Each structure stands twice: as C-alpha cells, then as structure tokens.
Amino acid sequence: MSSKRTFSYTVPYILWLVLFVVAPVVLLIVQSFGNIYGHFTLDNYATYFSSGTYLRMTFNSVFFAFIVTVITLLISYPMAYIMSRLKNAQFWLLLVILPTWVNLLLKAYAFIGLFSKTGTVNNFLSFIGIGPHQIMFTDTSFMIVAAYIEIPFMIMPIFNSLVELDRSLINAARDLGATPWQTLTKVIIPMSMSGVKAGIQAVFIPTLSLFMITRLIGGNRVITLGTAIEEHFLVTQNWGMGSTIGIILIIAMAATMFFTRDRKKKGGRRRG
C-alpha cells in the first residue's frame, strides 16, 4: 500500500519532468537535424563547427561567463563570510536577496539610466573633471550589469555553506596555533567549497545564455550563444540552426555541472 502511495505521489513530478524537461530537449534535438524546410540534414552541425563566427561566439560566451563568475566570486565570498559572522545574518541575507525580486528588465533600464551619456555616472565624471565617456554598449558595462544581477545567486549557497560549518573544527585549528589566515585558507575555504561550486553553477550556467542584457546593455557588440538563439528563432526563423546552438549550450551547461560537482568516495568522504 505504501509503495502505491509513493508512486502516486511521484506521478506529478514525473509528468512535470517529461513535459517540461525531457520533451523540450528531445524537440530541440529533432529540430537541430532539420533545415528550414523541415528535411533531415547534418548541415547545421557542419556549419556550426566550420564557421569562425559561431566558434568565436561560443568562445565569447564562455569567456564572458567565466569573467562574470570570477567577479561575482571575488565579491561574494568575503561578503558571505562577513555576513555569516554577523548577529542578524539572516536579515542581511534577506537584503541581498531583495534585488532578485525586482524584474530583470527594470534593473536593465535602471542601468541604462546610470550608464547613458547623460546618466548619473557620466554626470559625476564630468563633475570631477574626467569628462563623459562611452559606458553603454561596451563589454565592461555588460559584465558589470551581469555580475550585479548574478551576485545574489553566488552569495546564497556560499553563505549557507559557511553557516553550516562545524565551529568545533575552526576552534580546534585556532587551539592548535593556526593564524586567522591559516584557519581561513586551510579550514574554512576547503570546508565551504560545496557552496562555492554551487554558486559557480548558479552563475556560470545562466550567464552563458544571457540575451536580454546583451541587447540592452552590450548592444550588438556583445554577441553570445543566447543572442544567436534568439536571432535564429525570432528573426531569421531558422529553427534548425537555433536548435543546434541550443544543444551546444545544453552540452556546455552539462559539462559545467560535471566539472563542478562534489566528488565523493564511498562512505561520503570527499576526495583529497
């Protein structure tokens, strides 16, 4: 009886996965082998791997995602570490999470107001005598906005891993004569790597497929795989090529999850 109940409870989840995860991926795979007329072809993959434009686009996507991930990690780890040691840590975490409740489009337009020729940043630069500069539609502006948007998703898993640390191990390191820096680098950081890896996944994977920010902030200068998929599906109507790029993007995401997974031995111990 209990097994039947368990199965009945899992049916909705199985249906959800099949309809909204498996089926779309299968549809992408099928469409990636079709041309604009719906006929079977391998030309989409041949074009992708032989085209310097698509390969450069792939490199740009990985490069920008890597830089944004590094920026968010360098900002988020110290911030999460300080927050985890504060008295009202959960309150400060809530303040970090609050910006994620604001619509992404609204945040993008807010940065347009900040970075435009007559925006707040250029007005300040003019006030101090540096003069206005072209900030919008540059790689730098795209990475700043992308990092700002992704920072909460890096902070949350790191914060959780730091809060859950076994304080007795930290106290033992200090009792054995470890300096604060040694305690941080030899005990705290290694023990919180699961949160770091989860944060890298939460930032690197979405950044690979950004397209709204690349349009609004980076202009046409920043072309990524997400932008190419949008272009093929909505503009050129070449769904086969768009699906091919989507499959490449899924493979890149799977590879990221594979390399940042928690490696454990039998018995639950991590590999050294």
Burial class (CB in 10 A: 0-12, 13-18, 19+), 204: buried
What residue type is 154 in one-letter code? M
Distance, CA of 152 to CA of 80 (rounded, Å): 10
Q: What is the pLDDT of residue 193?
A: 94
DSSP string, the chain: -HHHHHHHHHHHHHHHHIIIIIHHHHHHHHHHTB-TTS-B-SHHHHHHHH-HHHHHHHHHHHHHHHHHHHHHHHHHHHHHHHHHTSTTHHHHHHHHHGGGGS-HHHHHHHHHHHHSTTSHHHHHHHHTTS-----TTSHHHHHHHHHHHHHHHHHHHHHHHHHTS-HHHHHHHHHTT--HHHHIIIIIHHHTHHHHHHHHHHHHHHHHT--HHHHHTSGGG---HHHHHHHHHHTS--HHHHHHHHHHHHHHHHHHHHHTSPPB-TTSPBP-
**For the ranges 5-9, 18-22, 185-189, 196-200, which has the lowest average pLDDT?**
5-9
Q: What is the pLDDT of residue 271?
A: 41
Digit-coded pLDDT (tens) for 49-79: 999 889 998 998 999 999 999 999 999 999 9
Mean pLDDT score, 215-219: 83
What residue type is 117 in one-letter code? K
Q: What is the pLDDT of residue 2?
A: 65
CA atoms within 13 A on the CB side of 200: 20
Using pLDDT thresholds of 50, 70 and 90, give the confidence band for residue 267.
Answer: very low
Backbone dihedral angles phi then psi of residue 150, each to the nearest 5 degrees: -90, -15
For the cut 50, the answer to whether the pLDDT of residue 80 exceeds it is yes
Distance, CA of 52 to CA of 58 (rounded, Å): 10
- Tell me the pTM: 0.87
Digit-coded pLDDT (tens) for 155-200: 999 999 999 998 898 889 988 888 989 999 999 999 999 999 999 9
Distance, CA of 241 to CA of 215 (rounded, Å): 20
**For the ranges 31-35, 44-48, 79-83, 260-264, which has the lowest average pLDDT?**
260-264
- The tokens of 26 are what? 């299968």
